[in-house]
Amino acid sequence: MHSNRVLFRALTVLVVASVAAAGCGGTSSTETTTSTLTKPPITIGFLNPSGGPVPQPGTDTGVQAAQSYINGEFGGINGHPIEVVPCDTDTTPEKAQSCANTFVEKKVVAVLDGYNLSSSAALPPLTAAQIPLVGMIPFDSVTGAKPENRVFFAAPQASFLVGALQAFQSEGKKSVTLALVDTPSSHQTIDTLLPALSTALGIRAKGIYFSPTSPNFTAVASAIAKDNPDVGGLVAAPSEAVCTALVKALRQLNYQGEIFTAACTDYIKDAPEQAAGGALYSSNWLPTAARYAPPEVQSDLAIAEKHIAAVEGGTAGYYAYGEFALLVNLAKALTASGATASVTGADVLKTLKALKDFPSFLGPKITCGSATSPNCTTQMLLFSVQPDGSTKPVTDTWITPAAQVLGAIPGAV
């Protein structure tokens, strides 16, 4: 599925120097404002999708920014600073499993999933060690199919596709053609899920693939425009560059339908007038939608934007804000539970599974602990791009995808 910026400096202390395990490491979370936090730290792992054919550099930015905020203004977790142990992944199961083994050795109490395509490979060692996997959206369909030892604060991937198609249908759209990067996990979406949704929702939905290593977006745009669908675009975007390239190619072909860009936003800043009329989805509020957000969300967006912008060489975008929200949600939940440095992975899992009507950061109220799903909500937002570059929600409330449709998808509800 589915992309927005030196750490905030007041007083800085080096809290994590490196990850010693071979092949693991990363540039994440090394300096934070912890001078007033003298209690022992709480250590958290981070599966950082920095390599491979589908990297997500914004996740690292979001974690750095959130750690700065939590150990600074937020005051840590009941006065305990958080230390983040990053480990770089590259979409391969072997790398994810190697990182999981490192986290077990480091005795972390939870592991952040940075929108990894192979996070399920990390689950066996983490589950054996009673270390929960915590994320926003499970990009690995195997991870998203069961609730054991994992909690995801946002909706499942299926919700975004179902919710968007529902909204398009309500607007009178009758046909949709969407592209997705060709990876093993993509085939469940294109080959199985999309046809099922097409039948269930009564909208003609077609999926096509593009290469993860050498995509030809002129060809992708031609394949989309060929049938002149009412909506054309992406199921999910591996990078902002993909969105920009596809939008440009569709405009060059004079495609007149609505362009759907998954969770991308950068292309809007480059050419807002050209982007106007397009659509994108999100699991949380975005800075481009701040003027339409409730006051409390505007305040949270200002916090996230300040710290994300302060990350040296950072990548701001959907994944940065999503990962910022992930770590803040975890910190808020553990703080409310009274957690200290003696907290265990089992304690963390119990705390998260017990969340009820929890006001998530930049997201809806969530309730976790479903017997069939790792996700704490099915709600999502769909935005329409305005001529001034802002993104306006298409509905007055969060979109809740049809339960009867999601019910046929393992782990969705």
CB 146 within 8 A of CB 135: no
Which two structure tokens, joined as six digits, stand for 143? 């991870």
Adjacent-strand bridge partners of 42: 82
Query: How many other C-beta atoms lie within 10 A of the C-beta of residue 79?
Result: 14
The pTM (predicted TM-score) of the whole model is 0.86
Q: Give residue 40's pLDDT.
A: 97
> Using CA of residue 356, residue 318, residue 212, residue 256, what is the dihedral sign?
positive
Can you spell out the DSSP letters for 296-332? HHHHHHHHHHHHHHTSTT---SHHHHHHHHHHHHHHH
Packing angle, helices 295-309 and 318-337, rounded to 10? 110
Domains and CATH numbers, the chain: 13-154+294-366 (3.40.50.2300), 157-282+379-406 (3.40.50.2300)
User: What is the per-residue pLDDT across 208-229, written as a single tens digit (0 to 9) for each?
Assistant: 999 988 999 999 999 999 999 9
Of 250, 320, 214, which is closest to residue 261 (Cα–Cα)? 250
- Stretch 394-405: mean pLDDT: 90
Q: Over the stretch 121-153, which tens digit does the pLDDT of each residue have? A: 999 999 999 999 999 999 998 999 999 999 999
Q: What is the mean pLDDT of residues 18-22?
A: 32
Q: 147 near 366, Cβ under 8 Å?
A: no
**Distance separating alpha carbons of residues 222 and 98, to the nearest angstrom:** 41
- Per-residue pLDDT, 8: 29
Instruction: Give the other-Cβ count within 10 Å of 82's Cβ.
Output: 27
Q: Distance (Å, rounded) from C-alpha 60 to C-alpha 48? A: 6
* Section 178-188 average pLDDT: 86
In this structure, the dihedral spanned by the alpha carbons of residues 233, 52, 117 and 1, taken in order and rounded to 10 degrees, is: -20
